[in-house]
Amino acid sequence: MTAAPLMPEIHVDENASADVVRAFFGHDRLLAAYALADLDPDNVDTARWWVARRGRDVTAAALLVEILPFRPCFAMGDTDSLASLFHELREQRLILAVPPRGRPAVEQTYRFERVDLMRRMAVEARAFLPRTTRTPTRLGPDQLEDLIELYGEASRSYFTARRLAREIYYGVYDGRRLVSAAGTHVRSSHAGIAAVGNVLTRIGHRDRGLATSVTSAVTEEALREHRDVVLNVRQENAPAIRVYERLGYHTHATFIEGPAVRRAPWERITNIWRRN
């Protein structure tokens, strides 16, 4: 009787090229859209990544955006490889996004403080259905203070003149006051992807179609330059999902997202004992 061949050991590689990571994330480019955009040549110096390999095959990858203070990290791959990869990470705190099946692997090393079930929605030009009740205004560096006033003073570290020059933002004004806005979190001409977000309307101006109008304007311009446009929305946010579906977005996949802290060594030992 011939014994089954042993699986190659998992090796975590911190020095893989950006092209290797792009190729792996390309297996599901819509789910990995943010990570692929962060690997754009214009953005790549803000990111750090790791891959897990079995032999020569890449079986998992994680990408961390180091320039942002909240440390967003996306990962995908098979369970054992994700477990090995996160065991090697030394980040103490992250905002983690992984497919739901990856949660047990992550939680061997990291503990989620909160978990949101998210939808990744996407639209292509042929499916897009523009809808506006007001004509939005393109926002740029000259409108920086208006955006910060809308989103709050805490957003000052995020919104910069450089970001507004690089990304696509549209807004609606009531007089001289910005009352609704949306934009792209990140986009990549190299990957052909743009990610829409930061949709916000002041409470007193809601239910007038303003969020739909600004999201439609951002999506329309993004589709002129990118093959795919994606966004994230919480699974329970039915009103927002209906808005996006009316614009032609469809649900591509679900994932989980939330703040996570690295477990203390004794916690990791306890987890191993519980699994066994």
**Distance in angstroms (rounded) separating the CA atoms of residues 51 and 62:** 6
Number of neighbouring beta carbons within 10 Å of residue 154 = 8
Is domain 10-118+256-275 in CATH 3.40.630, yes or no?
A: yes
Estimate the crossing angle of helix 210-225 against helix 238-246, to 10 degrees. Answer: 50
pLDDT at residue 42, as a whole number: 79
**What is the total residue count of the chain?**
276
pLDDT at residue 276, as a whole number: 46
Around 35, how many Cα atoms within 13 Å sit in the side-chain half-sphere?
Answer: 30
Each domain of the chain, given as residue ranges in start order, spans 10-118+256-275, 125-226
pLDDT at residue 71, as a whole number: 87
**Distance in angstroms (rounded) separating the CA atoms of residues 53 and 15:** 12
pLDDT at residue 269, as a whole number: 53
pLDDT at residue 270, as a whole number: 56
Measured CA distances, 18 to 102, 193, 239 (Å): 22, 17, 38
pLDDT at residue 68, as a whole number: 74
Number of neighbouring beta carbons within 10 Å of residue 13 = 17
pLDDT at residue 268, as a whole number: 55
Selection from 260, 265, 271 nearest residue 72 by Cα: 260
Q: What is the pLDDT along the chain (276 residues), one digit of tens a residue?
A: 454 455 679 999 999 999 999 999 999 999 999 999 999 887 767 889 999 999 889 999 999 998 777 789 999 999 999 999 999 988 999 999 999 999 999 999 999 999 999 999 999 999 999 999 889 999 999 999 999 999 999 999 889 999 999 999 999 999 999 999 999 999 999 999 999 999 999 999 999 999 999 999 999 999 999 999 999 999 999 999 999 999 999 999 999 999 999 998 766 555 544 554
Q: Any idea which fold 125-226 has?
A: Aminopeptidase (3.40.630)
Around 134, how many Cα atoms within 13 Å sit in the side-chain half-sphere?
Answer: 21
Residue 67 DSSP one-character state: T
Are 15 and 179 in contact, with CB atoms under 8 Å apart? no
pLDDT at residue 266, as a whole number: 67
- 169 burial (CB, 10 Å; 0-12 / 13-18 / 19+) is buried
**Distance in angstroms (rounded) separating the CA atoms of residues 105 and 88:** 13
